[in-house]
């Protein structure tokens, strides 16, 4: 199906059967090799020849499997943001209270390398409509995984809310993208973005405001004001 003669964008999360095909294996190898280079040097600072060298491949294989460095970047970014979303869920799964959960989700999401890469990929893909399906699939996956994770937490902790997990997940990621894009341009750091998203989500969820305690991490402060939702 995925023969080298017909390379196709793989599902970013992968499929164990498809990975057996040699073409898909080389795609994956190139993605793995490119990722640390993109993170360290950015898209513009990374040459196709460097990526090929790091993967033990020829530069022509990069263009063969991905057509362009930009397409490889977008695919790596989509994979990374899905990984970041998984890590975000894991970080938040320990939270005992809804405010602590919201805080942990936001802190983990805004600090992830994958998020910054994904925003850059979104900007790139605006002019590359061949990449739109991959962005659309990644977005759907972010939303469905986020909805599932929230519904599980809500059930496990017994939070008495009748809200729609799908809407929560879509709003979460839209707010995260909008605030991080804006704050990065306005010179605000990840901590400022996290506070802003936390404030917006807290009021949406009708949670108490963060206490204005002069000391302690935002997470510690949120836990200090945690109370049973509604």
Residue 113 in the binding site for its own copies (CB under 8 A): no
Residue 51: partners with Cβ closer than 8 Å, 6 or more residues away: 30, 33, 34, 37, 62, 69, 72
Residue 177 in the binding site for its own copies (CB under 8 A): yes
Nearest-approach distance from CB 123 to its own copies, in angstroms = 5
What part of residues 114-173 is at the interface with its own copies (CB under 8 A)?
119, 121-126, 129, 131-133, 135-136, 139, 164, 167, 170-171, 173
Instruction: Name the nearest CA neighbour of 88 among 172, 30, 192, 182.
Output: 172
Nearest-approach distance from CB 12 to its own copies, in angstroms = 14
Instruction: Name the nearest CA neighbour of 9 among 75, 78, 81, 58.
Output: 75
**Count of positions on this chain that bind its own copies (CB under 8 A):** 38
The crossing angle, in degrees rounded to 10, of helices 190-204 and 98-111 is: 150
Instruction: Name the nearest CA neighbour of 142 among 89, 178, 181.
Output: 89
Residue 20 in the binding site for its own copies (CB under 8 A): no
Residue 208 in the binding site for its own copies (CB under 8 A): no
Residues that bind its own copies (CB under 8 A): 119, 121-126, 129, 131-133, 135-136, 139, 164, 167, 170-171, 173-179, 181-182, 184-188, 196-197, 199-200, 203-204
């Amino acid at each position: 199906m995925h023969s080298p003669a017909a390379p196709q964008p793989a599902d970013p999360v992968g499929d164990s059967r498809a990975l057996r095909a040699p073409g898909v294996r080389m795609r994956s190898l190139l993605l793995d090799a490119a990722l640390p280079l993109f993170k360290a040097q950015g898209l513009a600072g990374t040459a196709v020849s460097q990526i090929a060298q790091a993967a033990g491949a020829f530069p022509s294989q990069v263009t063969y499997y991905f057509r362009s460095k930009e397409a490889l970047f977008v695919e790596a970014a989509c994979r990374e943001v899905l990984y970041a979303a998984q890590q975000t869920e894991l970080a938040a799964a320990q939270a005992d209270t809804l405010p602590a959960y919201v805080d942990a989700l936001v802190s983990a999401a805004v600090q992830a390398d994958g998020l910054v890469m994904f925003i850059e990929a979104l900007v790139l893909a605006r002019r590359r409509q061949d990449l739109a399906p991959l962005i659309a699939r990644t977005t759907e996956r972010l939303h469905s995984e986020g909805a599932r994770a929230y519904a599980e937490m809500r059930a496990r902790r017994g939070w008495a809310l009748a809200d729609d997990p799908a809407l929560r997940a879509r709003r979460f990621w839209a707010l995260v993208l909008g605030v991080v894009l804006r704050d990065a341009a306005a010179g605000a750091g990840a901590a400022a973005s996290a506070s802003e998203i936390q404030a917006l989500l807290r009021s949406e969820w009708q949670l108490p405001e963060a206490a204005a305690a002069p000391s302690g991490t935002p997470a510690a402060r949120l836990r200090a004001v945690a109370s049973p939702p509604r």
